[in-house]
Each structure stands twice: as C-alpha cells, then as structure tokens.
Chain A
Amino acid sequence: MTHQEFLEQVDAYALGALEPAEARALEAHLAAEAPHPQCEAALARAREAVAALASDLTPVAPPPRVWDAVARSIGAGEPGPVRVVPLRRAPAWAYAMAAAAVLALVVGGISVRESSRSAARASASAAECRRELAEAHLDLLRKEDALQLLVEPGTQLVSLRPTPQAQGPLARGSGVVIFNPRGRALFLGKSFAAQETQDYELWLLRGDKAIAAGLLPPGADGRVFAEVPPGLLTGGRPGGFAVSIEKKGGTDVPTTVIFAGTVSPP
C-alpha cells in the first residue's frame, strides 16, 4: 500500500467503515513500513474527529459491576491469561423460570389485594403492567432462543407454504420451522386467525406418516411460537413439517393441512 492509498482510506479506517481485509492492509502499512509523519498525522486527525463526535455525548456512569468485572478479569496485575468475565444474565431457562415466577406473583398479587376496592384497582393496574412486562420478557426469551438456534451449525429454515386448503383468513398466515438436526425444531408463525371452535395442530412428517407435534394456540397478535417435542426428532431426519386445522383438542391424523414444507437433505 502506498502512502497515498493509506491517506485515501484512513478516514474510513478510523470510522471502522472498512471491510476487514482493507483494515488489515492499513494496519500492515502502519506496522511494516517506516513511520510516515503524514500518515500518522492523518490517522491522529481522523481518530480525534471520531472521538470528538463522542465528546458531545452526556457521560453515563456505568454500574459498579462493570469495573468489578474488569478488575476480576485482569487479576489485580497478576500475570496470566486475561479473560472477559461474563456480565450477561443467567441462562435462558433461568430467565424463563424467573419470568414465570413473576407471572405467578402477579396473578397471586391480584387475589391477595382484593380486600380494598381502590387498593385492588391500583394493584390490579400495576399487576396488569407487570403481567405485560412479563409477557414481553417471555416473548424476548423466545426470540433469543430462536436466534441462538438460527446460528447453530446445521440449522435450516423450513418455510411452510399454504396448501390449496388454506382458504380465506387461513391463507393470510405463514409459518417457518427452524430445524437443527441435533434435535431441536422451533415453529414460528404469524397472522394466524383466531379460531373459536378449532385448533391449529403441528405435524412432523416422516416417510408416509404424519406425527402429531402439538397444538399451536395463536397469541392475541396472531403470532405462534412452539417447540417440536425433542423426543419426536430422535427417530431420524424428518421429511418435513405441516400445520393443519382440526377440531378442538387436535386429532391423531391430519384432516385439513393448511401449510407444509420439506426439510432439505443434509
């Protein structure tokens, strides 16, 4: 890289806007060649401009746990490997339990506080807020779970497409299965019309068999989230997944399949 090429790219480099290979080329220029005052001055100017943008931000004191984690990581100056201490919360299942506990508390809280009407109204209102928060938290946990499965090696997306039997409001829905051959499959659906007298049912297809994988109750927003029971995934790679609409409580054999999709071969 010439000095001129460096100068042309140094601003993007300071901004972090280069592709990794381009950034490495600039770093190699800085490291390998004799320090060039113009290049170094340009880098300093660009870095100061980037820093100056941040200088207009109002500082936000980090909580003490951040420095505590830094101090633990560097081990008070002791030699040895330095590791980042995880600040993130407990595993997802722990959060699911915590969120479930919050829900239980909320529901319990409403019944306990019924002795005074005004107090009950106030607490019910607060409880409603807490319930909504807990539900939002659960929703986030589900999404986080789906995201983690998405980035697992071997994961594939199985789009479930409407069949000719999907008519009217049913045709507006859509679904996808996030399938990992190591034994996990999550179903995500949206725009599922609420059904008063029927249930949506998920099916795992293997050979010429359709294996019932659970009901799919849509949320108030029409979204559906369900996990295929892991036990159903141990009998070999499924051929696909399907959703049917059935009488309340589901059936053993699908009658009206409205979405279906096939799993790609490995």
Chain B
Amino acid sequence: MSPGAEGKALEGVRRGDQRALEELYRVHGPRIHALLLRMLRETADAEEVLQETFIDAWKRAAEYAPSRGSIEAWLITIARSRAIDRIRHKGARLRLVRQTEQLAPAEPAHPDPPDVHAQSRLRRALGALPAEQRRALELAYWEGLSQSEISEHTGDPLGTVKTRVRLGLQRLAELLAG
C-alpha cells in the first residue's frame, strides 16, 4: 500500500469507515501479529493485543500525526506499548510465582515461534553495534524491560544504560536506513 493510499485509509478510519480500518489491518496486521508473537510468545496474548491495537487505532485515528512517523510506525507503537503493558503485568505475577516456587529465572514460555523472525537484516544491523548497546536494545525491544529494569538486570548504572539505549537506537536507525 502506498503512503498515499494509507493516508486515504486513515482518513476513512477517522470518518468511521470500517472498511478503511480493515484495509489497514489487512496490510499491517500480519507483521504486527508476528511482532506480538515474538514479544509475547503466546498465541492468545498476541491475538488479543492485535485486536486491542486496531481498536485503539480506530478510536485514536484523529491523533495520528504524519510528522511523528508513518502509519505503520504509529500502529507498531500502539502494539508494542500494549504488549509491554502485558509483559510487565505478567512479570509482576512471575516474580510472585518465583517467591513461591523458587522457579528458575524467567524464561520464555515457549521457544520462539517458528518462521517468525527471519532477521538477517536486523542481525546485520545489530551485529554492527557494540555488544552492550545491542544487549540493552534487545532487552528493551523484545523483553519489554524499562531502562531501570535493564540496569537492575545487568547491574550497570542507570545512566550508562540510558546512554546505551540512546546511542544504540540512533546507530541502528542509521544502519537500517543505509
């Protein structure tokens, strides 16, 4: 879908046209679904957050500003924000469970879903980053950790983590754009 067609679809969503939202869902839903599967590792959670994402887009279409990123980036921002909320809620629950059963440190409930992350381009870009920046970005991006949680997790000072996140994403943006 071209940016112009996407813009028209979003205009339709703003007017309450369900078919316009369905068009955006058809174009972006599968990739956002893959992202949510990778982050949440549970089919039911991924499907629920995907549903919430497009309902949110329906309700908040008027807030979308092209100057702050593409429609795809906007949808992904909504999806990740909701996924992170869910990860953090589950994390609190898991910590309670660990207190009870002294379980091993949190691990993915399932292995990564198959055929979901053909990440060659991403791997190349991440591979070009210093290891500590890459680690900080991965913990934030896939595990939904905040900078404070990354600091706690890695034992590095919070200021150092903040610098790694900032420089890492900026460098990644350059590499992925190149």
Point out residues on A near B: beta carbons under 8 Å.
Answer: 8-9, 11-12, 14-19, 30, 35, 40-41, 43-63, 65-67, 69-71, 73-74, 76-77, 79, 82, 84-89, 143, 146-147, 150-151, 157, 174, 176, 178, 188, 190
* Chain B contacts with A in 106-124, Cβ cutoff 8 A: 113, 115-122
A12/B58 in contact, CB under 8 A: no
A8/B76 in contact, CB under 8 A: no
A66/B51 in contact, CB under 8 A: yes
The minimal Cβ–Cβ distance linking A241 to chain B, given in whole angstroms, is: 13
Residues of A within 8 A of B169 (CB): 11-12, 14-15, 46, 49-50
Contact sample, A vs B, 27 pairs, CB 8 Å cutoff: A15-B169, A17-B146, A35-B67, A44-B69, A44-B73, A48-B70, A50-B76, A50-B169, A53-B122, A57-B38, A57-B117, A58-B34, A59-B33, A60-B115, A61-B29, A61-B30, A62-B30, A66-B33, A66-B47, A70-B21, A82-B59, A89-B44, A143-B97, A146-B100, A147-B97, A150-B96, A174-B102
B118/A58 in contact, CB under 8 A: yes
The answer to whether the Cβ of B148 comes within 8 Å of any Cβ in the partner chain is yes
A57/B118 in contact, CB under 8 A: yes
**Given A11-B169, A46-B169, A53-B122, is A19 in contact with B148 using a C-beta cutoff of 8 Å?**
yes
Most buried by A among B69, B70, B99, B148: B69
Residues of B within 8 A of A9 (CB): 162, 166
Point out residues on B near A: beta carbons under 8 Å.
Answer: 16-18, 21-22, 25, 29-35, 37-38, 44, 47-48, 50-52, 54-55, 58-59, 65, 67-70, 72-74, 76-77, 80-81, 84, 93, 96-97, 99-102, 113, 115-122, 137, 140-141, 144-148, 150, 162, 165-166, 168-170, 172-173, 176-177
The minimal Cβ–Cβ distance linking B124 to chain A, given in whole angstroms, is: 10
A67 is contacted by which of B29, B119, B162 (Cβ under 8 Å)?
A: B29
**Given A16-B81, A58-B117, is A73 in contact with B51 using a C-beta cutoff of 8 Å?**
yes
Complex: how many Å from CA A24 to CA B1? 33
The minimal Cβ–Cβ distance linking A259 to chain B, given in whole angstroms, is: 14
Output the nearest chain A residue to B79 by Cβ-Cβ distance. A54
**Given A12-B147, A73-B51, A82-B55, is A60 in contact with B116 using a C-beta cutoff of 8 Å?**
yes
The minimal Cβ–Cβ distance linking B91 to chain A, given in whole angstroms, is: 12
Residues of B within 8 A of A188 (CB): 100-101
Main secondary structure on chain A at its contact with chain B?
helix
Complex: how many Å from CA A203 to CA B61? 58
B31/A59 in contact, CB under 8 A: yes
Output the nearest chain A residue to B166 by Cβ-Cβ distance. A11
Complex: how many Å from CA A99 to CA B29? 32
B51/A48 in contact, CB under 8 A: no
A56/B166 in contact, CB under 8 A: no
B100/A12 in contact, CB under 8 A: no
